[in-house]
Structure 1
């Protein structure tokens, strides 16, 4: 006979998180049902189910969205009002870069309800991109809407936005400043203060930090009895010149050097997004020793850097201008297996010989780099290096096989990170760590030395001999082992540094240490000479700075040390070591050459 039954069931359970960074909330479930059937084995039931669940909470206590897609947030630049927190877009491409503003591009349809009431205008809205990374909602970058195109048929807006770090570009520096000395960061801090406080519609509420680097910029020339001071200011700005603020910051970052980086984050109650620019001397970023970027593992594709026609440069000359002055520097780094190639570069942003020398050094270094990958496509979810564990400015190790080179394991600096959401790709723009030269700029105070390899520590690199006989000696040295030596034979011998740029009528000191053994000489046969050149590096004059007449054994002593005045028509100088034909026998050692410019 058919029978009926009623029953009550209740269940309580706690959900288990997949990982601490994205845990699931606890939940309680319960229901009541009355069963009706023809027999205890078969029947039908009616039931009621009720449940409640907690939203996922990230590591920082902030609720996480139910999915892990990019979210586009729109905020008014002047009022600060957030007018949309999740605009639906297509073809999103975003690039975050080192020492530059980010780039954002996407397509948005005006029919979409998420943009109802929004009229995008250049410089009127911020575009913030948010994504969950490592269990936290992170503002990846912030851009300002730029002039964009509208499709004439569909009305779809191809929106472009540029990072707020690029805001100073195109704006004039309308101040008169003549700082005798200042911190390296002070011009950057002052530019942002000037743009945000001196103009009513220029405040982006961007914070620049830190305010100081601990490095002092000094005048281009100092006076201590040896140097003639022709430029009394470390920073000289005139409103009438209308210097481009963005160009000035970039030139300063290049020459000091320092990095800068955009940073954006929610405020505590998520009603505004805080914007900052971080400065780092001489660089920003971490050296990531624990992350791995390996071809055929998390590196899906890699573009090797190959030497193009412009890559090989043995000599580079840089020229810059300051009101009333011209500054220049020439740097050489010859490869014995290649022919000489020269590159000339001019820039109006260089206002001292020291900055010209620093820029020449960097430009040459970037053309003589090891084999590396300039672009890699990665899996951002791979455990080797999950997204969020690295950023632009970081140094990473990339390893794998490179055609024509072999297996490479090379340190690379991340220059930019680009996501193409439509194509589901993540690309890193890289440069070999050696392509970045973080040598600090020289502001000579009367004691600094511009000569490369002045102490002959390991070789004769940076020096040019006019004939045979010169050799490196690691067993002899003035302050430390390492010197250059030659045996006198009654003929003339010369060894020269590269030519360095000069200002008109510049006064500078020059000296070297010398030692002799078994010397036979009939006059002042050992000398240090200031060899001058014109703009074409044609020799103009040679000025004797110091000389001795050696006899027998001569212990280490200083040769030269006096000041030299740059003659009219000369723009470059090299230090020349000279062994004259008047010395017919004996061995000579030179060490610790000094040329202060």
Structure 2
């Protein structure tokens, strides 16, 4: 059996942390790691424990100050910054958001107008700007891809080799940019790139590193050395979605504007193999033809009508032990016979939810061909 412990720290705002407790007695723990999201950790402490209180009687857990990490056999599997706690005596319920969530509701304090740049590099700038502010440095480092593609942000579909006649700048400003997490998500969709954040001990085992991993065009890899098999390491036959809403042969995306001036782009499957069906996507945040076409193509790729699986539950096994796979990886899934007719398919891991007390890991997945870059 794995050995777990939960570590509490005080984030000092200068990129360092002070260890508060190396054995927080958490129960009902959930540890979440995701692609292009925040993840985090949840848990409960009960009953009240004197060692987790300060001399004045207050407990150690302070929102936007305390961080908690889940460690399994020396490997940190996840963590987050305390966002909320519910003091329902004798229970104390803790909800920690993954470190990328720190940008939520964080503002930009200067003015920067960008006419042409790499969205991935601009997203790093958001962190560099934030962590340069007093008390805002949480020690996030970068790894993985260092660039995505140069593009015109907010401009029409212009190739990098062309000279634009008009460019609408992408503006970061103290008077309008009040949520850098939303800006980060926008930049990720513009490239697009994938990201996730992990934690690990430094080489001396004296501090915890927080590493923001970038992938362009994707995170992870196709793992031919691992497998998920029902009855072997998958604990139950997964549910396959075969809803009619999962199919369309023609997609149209409607963006900003009204009437004949509305931004719109279509995407069509020329050989659907079944009756034609329409899907209309309305997104008023889309302002350029290139963005509308990209969204239409992506939606058509998702709406293939093939049976899909969104979640599987796996247990520790030599064919895919915990820690051998990461979010972003493609792994072959083998299922039992069922109405879907699916037996073998490649799935991409979009999220990992660990419940240490059950020794079962829940994976959020999707058919790999629907999200492959």
Instruction: Answer whether TM exceeds 0.5 for this pair.
Output: yes
Q: Distance in 2 between matches of 1:93 and 1:114?
A: 23
Deviation, structure 1 residue 231: 2.1
Counterparts in 2 of 1:409 and 1:321: CA distance versus 1, 3 Å:
same
- Corresponding position of 1:374: 310
Q: Which has the higher helix share?
A: 2
Deviation, structure 1 residue 410: 0.5
User: Are positions 1:131 and 2:72 aligned together?
Assistant: yes
Q: Distance in 1 between matches of 2:180 and 2:148?
A: 23
- Corresponding position of 2:200: 265
Matches within 5 A, 1:473-492: none
Counterparts in 2 of 1:406 and 1:190: CA distance versus 1, 3 Å:
same
- Corresponding position of 1:206: 140
Q: Distance in 1 between matches of 2:3 and 2:313?
A: 19
Counterparts in 2 of 1:211 and 1:357: CA distance versus 1, 3 Å:
same
TM-score by length of 2: 0.87
Deviation, structure 1 residue 434: 1.7
Q: Distance in 2 between matches of 1:318 and 1:227?
A: 27
- SS class of match (1:87): coil
- Whether the aligned pair in 1 keeps the contact of 2:240 and 2:340 (CA below 8 Å) is no
Deviation, structure 1 residue 259: 0.8
Figure out how many residues of one structure are paired with residues of the other and give that number.
359
> If you compute each CA radius of gyration, which structure gives the higher value, 1 or 2?
1
- Whether the aligned pair in 2 keeps the contact of 1:206 and 1:276 (CA below 8 Å) is yes
- Whether the aligned pair in 2 keeps the contact of 1:312 and 1:367 (CA below 8 Å) is yes
- Whether the aligned pair in 2 keeps the contact of 1:370 and 1:432 (CA below 8 Å) is no
Structural RMSD (CA)? 2.6
- Corresponding position of 2:180: 245
User: Are positions 1:311 and 2:246 aligned together?
Assistant: yes
Deviation, structure 1 residue 401: 2.4
Deviation, structure 1 residue 74: 0.4
Q: Distance in 1 between matches of 2:221 and 2:145?
A: 21
- Whether the aligned pair in 1 keeps the contact of 2:148 and 2:191 (CA below 8 Å) is no
Is the deviation greater in 415-424 or in 84-93?
415-424
Deviation, structure 1 residue 114: 5.1
- Corresponding position of 1:337: 274
Q: Residue 4 of structure 2 is aligned with which of 70, 86, 107?
A: 70
Q: Kindly indicate whether structure 1 or structure 2 has the higher relative contact order, using CA contacts under 8 Å at least 6 residues apart.
A: 2
Deviation, structure 1 residue 227: 8.6
- Corresponding position of 1:365: 301
Q: Which has the higher strand share?
A: 1
- SS class of match (1:338): coil
Unaligned regions of 5+ residues in structure 2, if any?
A: none
Deviation, structure 1 residue 242: 2.1
User: Are positions 1:328 and 2:269 aligned together?
Assistant: no
Counterparts in 2 of 1:241 and 1:211: CA distance versus 1, 3 Å:
farther
Deviations, residues 388-442 of structure 1 (Å, cap 9, x unaligned): 111111110001224223352101000111122333321111100122153xxxx
TM-score by length of 1: 0.56
- Corresponding position of 2:127: 192
- Whether the aligned pair in 2 keeps the contact of 1:77 and 1:126 (CA below 8 Å) is yes
Counterparts in 2 of 1:173 and 1:360: CA distance versus 1, 3 Å:
farther
- Corresponding position of 1:410: 345
Counterparts in 2 of 1:253 and 1:279: CA distance versus 1, 3 Å:
same
